[in-house]
Amino acid sequence: MIKLLNLKKYYTIGDNTVKALDDVSLEIKSGEFISIIGPSGAGKSTLLYQLSALDNPTSGRIIFDDVALDELPPSQLALFRLHNIGYIFQDYAIIPELSALDNVILPILMQGCLRAQAGTLALEALRQVGLENRIDNLPSQLSGGEQQRVAVARAIVNKPRVIFADEPTANLDSVKSRQILDLLIDLNRSGQTIVMVTHEPEYAGLSKRIIEIKDGKLTSDKAN
């Protein structure tokens, strides 16, 4: 589904060049559940941002189903993300002024879906994450675990080809973390492709493949 070819992402800080990703190549197949692990500052989140086309590489290629994402103009790239990619942010990134339902409805409306149909799809996604009784609540009225489940519902509502999850359990206790992971496992069993960054070896062990990155380089890639 996705190929990275000799990908580099460099940042300039003062007189120094930081090699966040340094000549990374890998392939992701449809239906995989992959964990990306590594020490703090290794380049895990940077790699996820490149895979999900949320950031542009310094050099190298990103191919998604034969579409060269690195060659798409910004407007086309935004549309491609909207229709193919779901993203679960570490800090949830849900809109505080909108209810749980409206947060999930938003990406479907952006696809051009009518409000009534979007509401039906959003409600189904919230049911899938166990929040059908909290649809009218604002984020401030939800616990951290519930906010994360809203973020998951938003990521899955348009049935994307792949879901990227950046430390989806980082702000949760062990019980709520396991709820999120069980949900991701269930989604994967139904055929959803998932790529997750985690700093927890225990959680990485639940995936089918583990990629390790250190100092911007791929150091290990193995089936689990």
Per the CB < 8 A criterion, the answer to whether 26 and 4 are in contact is: yes
Q: What is the pLDDT of residue 41?
A: 87
pTM exceeds cut of 0.85 = yes
Domain extent listing, the chain: 2-95+161-223
Q: Reply yes or no on whether the pLDDT at 150 is more than 90.
A: yes
If you compute the radius of gyration of the chain from its CA atoms, what whole number of angstroms results?
17
Residues 42-88 have pLDDT tens digits of 999 999 999 998 998 999 999 999 899 988 999 999 999 988 999 99
In sequence order, what are the beta bridge partners of 2?
28, 64
Q: Reply yes or no on whether the pLDDT at 148 is more than 90.
A: no
Residues 79 and 26: their CA atoms lie apart, in Å, by 24
Q: What is the pLDDT of residue 178?
A: 86
> If we measure between CA atoms, which residue out of 214, 156, 220, 212 comes closest to residue 35?
212
- How much is the average pLDDT of 20-24? 94
Residues 27-46 have pLDDT tens digits of 999 999 999 999 988 999 99
Q: What is the pLDDT of residue 60?
A: 94
Residues 158-198 have pLDDT tens digits of 889 999 999 988 777 888 888 889 989 998 999 999 999 99
Mean per-residue pLDDT of the chain: 91
CA dihedral sign of residues 180, 185, 188, 189: negative
- If one counts every other C-beta atom within 10 angstroms of the C-beta of residue 206, the result is 18
Q: Which CATH superfamily is domain 2-95+161-223 in?
A: P-loop containing nucleotide triphosphate hydrolases (3.40.50.300)
